[in-house]
Amino acid sequence: MNALTFLTELSALSIILFCVGVLLLIVEMCHPGFGAAGVLGLVCLVADIFLTAKTVEQGLILTGIIAVIVVILLIISVTLVSKGKLPRTLTLKESTDRASGYIGGESLEKYLGKEGRALTDLRPAGTAELERERVDVLTRGESLEAGTELIVTEVGGNRVVVKKKGE
C-alpha cells in the first residue's frame, strides 16, 4: 500500500481527531495559558496516529505529516510575534505609568545628593545608611570599606550610585 492510497482511506474519526488536534494547537499558540489546549491537541494527534496507522510505515507517515504541520504553525506563530501582529489577548492594553496609578516601587530620587556612610564593604555593591535608612548602593567600580563617608551622585530606577565623600 503506498502513501497516497493510505491517505485516501482515512476514517472520519481519524480526520476529526486530526482537525481537533490541530485546532487545539492553534488555540494554545494564540491564547497561551496552562497548556491544557496544547496537551489535549497533542493527545488527539497521537490518538489519531495510533487509531489510524495499521503498520509502522503508516505511523511514520502520519507522524511526519503532523510534524510538518506543527512546524508550519510554529513558524506562523513566530512570524506573527516578530511583526507585532499578536492576538489582542497577548498584549497589554492599559498603560502602567504613574498617571494611571501604577507604582513600581518607592522612588529613590530623595537620596540624590544626600550623604551617608557605608555599612558594608562596597565591592562595588553593598549597603549604606542614608537618612537613617539602609539602602542598597553601588559605586562606579571602585571598592570602598565599611564606614566610609559617601555621597549619592546618581539615582536611576532602583540604582543608587555613590562615591567617596570629598572626591
22-36, 44-58, 84-98 — most confident range: 44-58
- C-alpha span between 44 and 66 (Å, rounded): 11
- C-alpha span between 122 and 126 (Å, rounded): 5
Place of cell 505529516: 65
Query: Model pTM?
Result: 0.46
Phi, psi of 97 (to 5 degrees): -105, 175
Q: In the Cβ-directed half-sphere of 132, how many Cα atoms lie within 13 Å? A: 0
Three-state DSSP at 134 gives strand
Helices (H) and strands (E) in the chain, counts: 4, 5
More confident residue, 3 or 18: 18
Q: Is the pLDDT of residue 123 over 90?
A: yes
Give the pairing of strands 159-164 and 115-118.
Answer: unpaired
